[in-house]
Amino acid sequence: MKRLARVSAMLSALLLCLLLTMTAAFAASVQDGAKLLKAEQKAALEQKIKQVEDAHQVKIGIVTMKSLKGAPPGKTANSILDKQYAGGKNGSIVLLLAMDSRDYHVSTDSVMRTIITDDGGFPHLKEAFLPHLKDNDFYGAFDAYVDGTDEMLAYYEREGEPYDPYNEFSPLALVIAIALGVLAAILVNSVLEGMMSNVAYAPSADAYLEDGSVSLTENNDTFLYTTETRRPKPKKSSGGGGGGSHGGGGGKF
């Protein structure tokens, strides 16, 4: 009897895994529950997403909702990713929008999180689509989200490391810019000094004082007190997509 129960439990677990896999396989790449897109816009996005998914072997989702009904955006996005968009060979990513609270959240799985990182990749992706969201240009936002994802996936495949805006920083360019700035400041200062007729070089500080204008009769220093203020060092808060193996982030638009 116990053996039969164990077999039954194993079959149930296997069936559940199969069901989740099939759900992820057949889930539409764009689920516009909030009705933000025209039919032709949705079709264009789905076609673009299919091309990016095939090119990089990933899963990409866009989900809009009228309301989260009080549910946390991060946990909701993570749950949608796990149930409907899991199984991307090189990772999965989902953008969730909730219109009543104007929340957005991007969720990445453990594989995609190593490609589109929380610290470098997600802020870059957010900069691409968030301005469109704030302007209520939803098609533009989703299009930029797909393009940004494609861009960072291609960068990772080409460079062998995740995209980071600091990788594009050039120390040599900074040194050159500082040097040019200093030279420009010296030049401007020299020109201004040359235009001032009442300015002349003085060999000592006495030349700047009129005779008899200052007379020191006593010199005394008195120490009063020292004020010391201590503040507790703030603890670094954790960001990301809601904990666990998920990554990404979100906010308001």
Q: What is the pLDDT of residue 166?
A: 73
12 or 195, greater pLDDT: 195
Q: What is the pLDDT of residue 27?
A: 79
Q: What is the pLDDT of residue 226?
A: 66
Quick one: fold of 24-166+240-252?
Diaminopimelate Epimerase; Chain A, domain 1 (3.10.310)
Report pLDDT digits (tens) over 139-198.
999 999 999 999 999 999 999 999 987 765 444 444 554 656 666 566 656 656 666 655
Residues β-bridged to residue 97:
64, 104
Q: What is the pLDDT of residue 174?
A: 46
Residue 238 CA to residue 243 CA, distance in Å, equals: 9
Task: Determine phi and psi for 72, rounding to 5 degrees.
Answer: -65, 135
Report pLDDT digits (tens) over 81-116.
999 999 999 999 999 999 999 999 999 999 999 999
Residues 6 or more apart in contact with residue 86 via CB below 8 angstroms: 20, 21, 24, 59, 92, 109
Mean pLDDT for the stretch of residues 31-60: 97
Q: Where are the domains of the chain?
A: 24-166+240-252
